[in-house]
A = this chain, B = another copy of it.
């Protein structure tokens, strides 16, 4: 086995430039929601080159959109397919899903970026660009792992199912579609940016939109109106208290190092049409974290109860209750026992490469792992290169060393998990 592992290390070292340029090319394609097709085309080209069996399809079937956990406000999925590449094993091995999402979040304030968000600039061992960390870097680790094994002439026993899905950032319709198409396995790795930690538990999360009324008036006599902005600020303070009380209840040791295990994030705030008018409507949109052992329904109820209590704290809210809508993204929570064989397998591979035990924590964000584990009945570990701080941030970047190290850990895990056919054989020559 050590011979195989050495061969993989050598192949990854030898192919570092090619792999880096491939990641750069992938980052250079702006695959924000609804514009994923060109980046997917690059993936498809690579899968053909590796020689995997392709399954490319446009999601959006009735079965998908009527599924109880389907959640998306996207009207049109055509033209931006899900992509799966299958490497059938020789048999009698455990199967593994390797899942990455191709969609990236918007760029934020363009003026803040040092380089164009899609430059793919490489500097001091880092590759910059929207999606570098979340999660094209991780996806490239997956592809490098498969490529390395295949190019070392190794044949696995279990199936490897690589998935490049859309819609992760908006609630996971892409992965749900893959599950409904029949893709399940004995284990799954999702290389979201865990900074090489192992996350056996998935924080769930869901989007909300809260609308608050005011009463408009001329700004010069603003005391004759009621500012929806001021009322919304009042409401936000209450959400901050709710966040605090919910997090005080989290006692899972895996969250020990996490400042706010299940945050309530306000991502958008918009109100008003005219500087000289008192705004009559304010809207916020945000994301509520759901603990791995909590139901989505329970989290919803807590938020709704918090809003209902506003009526007692402010007369205006008694007469004008805020309206909440659970829209768009919903990521199911998920939980795998830390003693599961999948965690052990990845941990062993990690130990071999890094020489230390991996850090095992709970995921601070929702991933497609929730859907894969709940609906797909597939044990999931989230493990990948890149730091969470960089995800969704300006000047997003990934450390290239981590991409290749993650690829090596994943490759070794595949050898261990899926099993190797003719382990001692002569067929490990490079081809």
CA distance A105 to B217 in the complex (A): 11
A280 & B217 in contact (Cβ 8 Å cutoff): no
Residues in B whose Cβ lies below 8 Å from that of A169: 274, 276
- A109 is an interface residue with CB less than 8 A from chain B: yes
The 10 tightest CB contacts between A and B, nearest first, are A220-B365, A219-B265, A268-B272, A267-B275, A219-B287, A275-B285, A223-B259, A276-B287, A277-B392, A218-B392
B233 & A220 in contact (Cβ 8 Å cutoff): no
- A338 is an interface residue with CB less than 8 A from chain B: no
User: Which residue, A217, A220, A265, A286, has most C-beta atoms of chain B within 10 A?
Assistant: A220
CB distance from A415 to the nearest CB of B (A): 32
Residues in B whose Cβ lies below 8 Å from that of A207: 275-276
Q: Given contacts A105-B274, A108-B277, A279-B268, is CB(A366)–CB(B220) below 8 Å?
A: yes
A275 & B287 in contact (Cβ 8 Å cutoff): yes
Nearest chain B residue, comparing its CB with the CB of A170: B276
Further contacts, 19 of them, CB under 8 A, given A217-B388, A222-B260, A265-B275: A105-B273, A112-B281, A207-B275, A207-B276, A208-B275, A209-B275, A217-B393, A218-B365, A218-B388, A219-B265, A219-B286, A219-B392, A222-B263, A227-B265, A269-B279, A270-B270, A274-B392, A276-B329, A280-B394
A381-422 vs B, Cβ < 8 Å mask (1 yes, 0 no): 000000011011110000000000000000000000000000
Residues in B whose Cβ lies below 8 Å from that of A366: 220
- A324 is an interface residue with CB less than 8 A from chain B: no
B268 & A282 in contact (Cβ 8 Å cutoff): no
Nearest chain B residue, comparing its CB with the CB of A277: B392
| Selected A-B contacts with CB under 8 Å, 14 pairs | A105-B274, A109-B281, A134-B218, A215-B394, A217-B391, A220-B287, A220-B365, A221-B365, A222-B265, A224-B389, A229-B236, A269-B270, A270-B271, A280-B393
Residues in B whose Cβ lies below 8 Å from that of A220: 203, 205, 263, 265, 287, 289, 363-366, 388
Chain A interface, number of residues (Cβ within 8 angstroms): 66
Residues in B whose Cβ lies below 8 Å from that of A345: none
Residues in B whose Cβ lies below 8 Å from that of A34: none
A205-249 vs B, Cβ < 8 Å mask (1 yes, 0 no): 101110001011111111111010110010010000000000000
- A93 is an interface residue with CB less than 8 A from chain B: no
State the oligomeric state as a number of copies.
2
- A106 is an interface residue with CB less than 8 A from chain B: yes
A219 & B268 in contact (Cβ 8 Å cutoff): no
- A299 is an interface residue with CB less than 8 A from chain B: no
A102-140 vs B, Cβ < 8 Å mask (1 yes, 0 no): 000110110010000000000000000000001000000
Residues in B whose Cβ lies below 8 Å from that of A285: 272, 275
Nearest chain B residue, comparing its CB with the CB of A219: B265
CB distance from A381 to the nearest CB of B (A): 17
- A278 is an interface residue with CB less than 8 A from chain B: yes
B282 & A277 in contact (Cβ 8 Å cutoff): no
Contact pick for A394, options B216, B272, B287, B329, CB 8 Å: B216
A268 & B271 in contact (Cβ 8 Å cutoff): yes
Residues in B whose Cβ lies below 8 Å from that of A289: 220
Contact pick for A365, options B106, B219, B233, B391, CB 8 Å: B219
CB distance from A172 to the nearest CB of B (A): 12
CA distance A134 to B388 in the complex (A): 52
- A86 is an interface residue with CB less than 8 A from chain B: no
B280 & A108 in contact (Cβ 8 Å cutoff): yes
- A254 is an interface residue with CB less than 8 A from chain B: no
A267 & B276 in contact (Cβ 8 Å cutoff): yes
A69-108 vs B, Cβ < 8 Å mask (1 yes, 0 no): 0000000000000000000000000000000000001101
- A153 is an interface residue with CB less than 8 A from chain B: no
CA distance A218 to B367 in the complex (A): 12
B260 & A268 in contact (Cβ 8 Å cutoff): no
B278 & A265 in contact (Cβ 8 Å cutoff): yes
Residues in B whose Cβ lies below 8 Å from that of A259: 223
- A336 is an interface residue with CB less than 8 A from chain B: no
CB distance from A271 to the nearest CB of B (A): 5
Residues in B whose Cβ lies below 8 Å from that of A109: 280-281
